[in-house]
Amino acid sequence: MKKLIIVDDDPAIIDALQLVFHPNYKVTALTSADAILNLDIELPDLFILDKQLAGVDGLDVCKFLKSNETTRHIPVLMMSASPSILSLAIEYGCDGAIEKPFTIKRIKQEVTDLLERASLHE
């Protein structure tokens, strides 16, 4: 079973995404990026990060993940209400980006596409 780590400081978004992806994926939900920045996590198959996190920018978390030998191969999907998220996500090394609000169908498709693309590079 594929593993997802979702980081968002909004409990409602975390709850919604857990419902969307469970039981097809093993979902770990975090409200801060501290565990990721300390690499105190079980490595997932995909990270879903909110751009606006308490204390740290999700783009900086992505940059950290992509610069780390252990995590650089793991796809990162960035979520944001900012319309400029697509260009920023590319600049910071994200594998995909989705603008809030998004549909369930759209985020499921983004996750499927990123996981399929990642499996081609294994």
> Per-residue pLDDT tens for 26-78?
999 999 999 999 999 999 999 999 999 988 999 999 999 999 999 999 999 99
Could you give the angle at the alpha carbon of 27 between the alpha carbons of 85 and 15, nearest 5°? Answer: 70
Give the pLDDT of residue 12. Answer: 94
What DSSP assignment string belongs to the chain? Answer: --EEEEE-S-HHHHHHHHHHHTTTSEEEEESSSHHHHTT-S---SEEEEESEETTEEHHHHHHHHHHSTTTTTS-EEEEES-TTHHHHHHHTT-SEEEESS--HHHHHHHHHHHHHHHHHT-
Task: Please provide the CATH number assigned to the domain covering 3-120.
Answer: 3.40.50.2300
* Residue 122 to residue 115: CA distance in whole angstroms: 11
* Residue 121 to residue 87: CA distance in whole angstroms: 23
Tell me whether strands 46-50 and 52-53 are parallel, antiparallel or unpaired. unpaired
pTM over 0.85: yes
Domain boundary assignment for the chain: 3-120
Give the pLDDT of residue 100. Answer: 92
